[in-house]
Amino acid sequence: MKESINVTLKRKDFDDEAIDTKETKRHLTNPPYRSRINSDQDLWKTVSVLRQDCRTSGIIPKLEPNLKNEDTQYAYLCSDSTDYISTGIMDLGWGCGYRNCQMLMSFLEKEKQDGDYLLKQVIDISSIQLLLEKAWQEGFDPLGAKQLKNHVFKTRKWIGTTEVYTLLAYLGIRSTIIDFHQPGPQKLHKDMFDWIQSYFTSNITTKKGKKVYTTHRPPLYLQHQGHSRTVVGIEILKSGKRNLIIFDPGRRMLRSFTKKRINYNEDTESSNEEEEEPEQEEPEQEEDEDEEEDEEIDIMNDHKTISKPKILFKANKIQ
């Protein structure tokens, strides 16, 4: 692992305190723990399933036509089990961490190991908060619990990489945090792009003349200053430049979807979007829908720089 990459659970407010991970390690090295959590009927009766109309499935395969242009050399996408989930009116401005967590869960819900699904169900925001507090009560991430005053349930408190890691650990899912805290020349994160490219391409053994590959990889949770997103792939251009293909929960999915592609270019640190115009059935609504689309573009323009990014990914071998 390169020197510029650190795996850490430390928080900047408590760097001088040691982190006791003994309890967490005990759970992570105990394979039956996930099965016990999934079979705990009393636990799952206390949580609520995310409504199906809050999820958009089948987006990953629809990205492929957008990546077959002349400038693209290769593109690699995560598992097509991944759903797109956006923030709603009630969590606008603070719910991105929860929504990205739910996108990871949408993959885990459909994947099996030893005949059992990795996750029983995708849960709503209040349920994520409830399980996070239960994890703290069992000794997971005591410093994170201290920073958030041991309470997030029914609040608008933001969560980030460490909270999502803690929740996955509590559910018996093995994951890792990688901190790219020092950018390279021109404030670009070349090491991060190298790592993401390796992550998506490492299990591709032969090219077989294809340009776009859908892998079995889980998506990546990408946290940077002020926002988080879900990385669902990487595009490698013939010029050598690379784009991250991203699901942003702060963006609403247009009805037409669905040729939407949101990229982060490693050389420009800017975001770009390509999408179809929605069909206008009623002329009198055209002006309102155009205003809505402009508002969405403004949201993206607020986040042009990736600052101090952290990536949470699910390891190949799951406990």
CA–CA gap between residue 5 and residue 1 (Å, rounded): 7
Say if strands 112-113 and 242-247 run parallel, antiparallel, or are unpaired.
Answer: unpaired
Neighbours of 241 (CB within 10 A): 14
Query: Reduced to 3 states, what is the DSSP secondary structure of residue 229?
Result: strand
Whose CA is closest to 161, among 310, 15, 4, 19?
A: 310
Token pair 């055209």: residue: 286
CA–CA gap between residue 173 and residue 35 (Å, rounded): 11
Cβ-defined contacts of 297-306 (< 8 Å, 24+):
297/273, 299/250, 299/251, 300/248, 300/250, 300/251, 300/262, 300/271, 300/273, 301/271, 303/226, 303/227, 303/271, 304/269, 304/270, 304/271, 305/187, 305/269, 306/189, 306/224, 306/264, 306/269
Active site residues: 96, 227, 248
